[in-house]
Amino acid sequence: QLVGTETTETHPSMTWQSCTAKGSCTTKNGKITIDANWRWLHVKGGYTNCYTGNEWNATACPDNKSCATNCAVDGADYRGTYGITASGNSLQLKFITKGSYSTNIGSRTYLMASDTAYEMFKFTGNHEFTFDVDLSNLPCGFNGALYFVAMDADGGLKKYSSNKAGAKYGTGYCDAQCPRDLKFINGEGNVEGWIASSNDENAGVGGHGSCCAEMDIWEANSVSTAVTPHACSPIEQSRCEGDTCGGTYSADRYAGVCDPDGCDFNSYRMGVKDFYGKGKMVDTSKKFTVVTQFIGTGEAMEIKRFYVQGGKTIAQPASAIPGVEGNSITTKFCDQQKDRFKDRYTYKEKGGTANMAKALAQGMVLVMSLWDDHYANMLWLDSTYPTDKNPDSDLGSGRGECEVTSGVPADVESQSPDATVTYSNIKFGPINSTFG
């Protein structure tokens, strides 16, 4: 996994605030890098593609190891190629960008502390994370996601000697789905066992996946939102093999070291349908502030959510599902919700909130992304899922107001190419230091 020199890598700048108490915040000069998977991958010293569409160049990449010594990831034109613009304390991701060579769809970016290292956020107990979001232009089928994953700070540069690119070029991704669509994992190609996707001309699934713990602070569009911890054991990035990876990309979703479902809090799914959406209590037709508090440590950690809009602080509403109590994620909430919804409790099997709290304390990388869903059309977030359930009688199946026929990537891409999400005003610090 070499570095290409056709385009100089210039990270967009994005400031954020590190707070110690209310009104006491210092500005940090962060940078943004786009994930290596989105970058041009070509034969070293030349212009021949190592990967085109959803297929590998068999000469450059006959196997995983040679691919790493033959191919280079190059610098990015953030605005022109990827529709990514940063300004002051904000970052905007545009869905479709028509470049001179190709059309880009969506993006996944990381916040950096320097040009060569990701910022590591350590939630060592009683921390909160706050940001503003504008997703008024993000309809059914989209996911504007802001979340944390347990990636290595240097993108795996030190651990894997064949990775010469590192965090500067957005390497080392992992999450609780143990994604197998990554072109490189542990500094080696993922060409062995690669199967081109049948419904995504830009993606495929390789023989390896990349797992690590994930804290989904925010997965949302203008219709629905969820906050979801996902435990993994081990917590740190680890490479998995084929279908034993589990997650979205594998035949058996629950076969791996991670919990792909998580313990989600989506207010609509918890029976409160008038809370989040256009013209609702949290009005998604306008910008608003999202506050997420991590109170306490270990299994007793509580994940609490507030919104601020129009000068008003709005608490997450309590669950309206009989037998599921509270307006926050606690071990008790997860126990009750999994039981009432008859969902598999993989979260607990992988260590639950104790595991998530440990991952947060060790330090995690901030991801900001925009994507559509080639596996389930985002229906698990914003519609009825599974789609054959009755949202009025099958508890937990109603997640939002989108049609069960919505979210098909081909439709979303043709109907909403200009969809955007803007994240801004990020603040991190002890409880009550970042808002109000």
In the list 172, 189, 204, 260, the residue contacting ligand IDC (rule: CB under 6 A) is: 260
E strand or H helix at 366: strand 364-372
In the list 1, 70, 222, 248, the residue contacting ligand IDC (rule: CB under 6 A) is: 248
The binding track of 208-237 with respect to ligand IDC, each residue x by CB under 6 A or -, is --------x-----------x---------
Nearer to ligand IDC, 53 or 386 (CB): 386
Nearest distance from C-beta of residue 87 to ligand IDC, angstroms? 29
Nearest distance from C-beta of residue 183 to ligand IDC, angstroms? 20
If we measure between CA atoms, which residue out of 90, 74, 81 comes closest to residue 32? 90
Binding to ligand IDC (CB under 6 A) within 378-407 occurs at 380
Nearest distance from C-beta of residue 226 to ligand IDC, angstroms? 7
- Give Cβ neighbours of residue 95 (< 8 Å, ≥ 6 apart): 83, 105, 106, 142, 370, 372, 413, 416, 417, 418, 419, 420
**DSSP bridge pairs for 31:** 13, 112
Nearer to ligand IDC, 93 or 153 (CB): 93
For tokens 């479709």, what's the residue?
Answer: 96
If we measure between CA atoms, which residue out of 78, 66, 68 comes closest to residue 31? 78
Main-chain phi, psi angles of 303, to 5 degrees:
-110, 110
Nearest distance from C-beta of residue 369 to ligand IDC, angstroms? 11
Active site residue 214: yes
369 binds ligand IDC (CB under 6 A): no
Count of beta carbons in the 10 Å neighbourhood of residue 54: 17
Q: Where are the alpha helices (DSSP H) in 56-205?
A: 64-70, 78-82
User: What are the C-alpha distances in Å from 193 to residues 16, 31, 113, 217, 256?
Assistant: 41, 35, 35, 33, 18
The binding track of 291-310 with respect to ligand IDC, each residue x by CB under 6 A or -, is --------------------
- Choose the stretch contacting ligand IDC; rule: CB under 6 A; options: 62-70, 259-267, 356-364, 405-413: 259-267
Residue pair 412/379 in contact (Cβ under 8 Å)? The answer is no
- Choose the stretch contacting ligand IDC; rule: CB under 6 A; options: 45-53, 158-166, 260-268, 355-363: 260-268
Calpha distance 73→182 (Å, rounded)? 13
Calpha distance 158→71 (Å, rounded)? 19
Binding to ligand IDC (CB under 6 A) within 166-185 occurs at 177
Q: Of the listed 219, 325, 349, 401, which one is catalytic?
A: 219
**Six-digit token string for 424:** 């801004």
Active site residue 219: yes
- Choose the stretch contacting ligand IDC; rule: CB under 6 A; options: 188-196, 257-265, 345-353, 403-411: 257-265
For tokens 């998580």, what's the residue?
Answer: 262
Residue 368 one-letter amino acid:
M
Nearest distance from C-beta of residue 161 to ligand IDC, angstroms? 32
> How many DSSP H helices and E strands does the chain contain?
7, 31
Nearest distance from C-beta of residue 366 to ligand IDC, angstroms? 16
343 binds ligand IDC (CB under 6 A): yes
User: Would you give the DSSP letter of residue 389?
Assistant: S
261 binds ligand IDC (CB under 6 A): yes
9 binds ligand IDC (CB under 6 A): no
- Give Cβ neighbours of residue 268 (< 8 Å, ≥ 6 apart): 224, 275, 276, 398, 399, 400, 401
Q: Of the listed 128, 214, 241, 349, which one is catalytic?
A: 214
Nearer to ligand IDC, 149 or 167 (CB): 149
Cα angle 207, 209, 214; round to 5: 170
Nearest distance from C-beta of residue 110 to ligand IDC, angstroms? 18
- Choose the stretch contacting ligand IDC; rule: CB under 6 A; options: 88-96, 97-105, 255-263, 292-300: 255-263
Residues taking part in catalysis: 214, 219
Residues that bind ligand IDC (CB under 6 A): 177, 216, 228, 248, 260-262, 264, 343, 376, 380
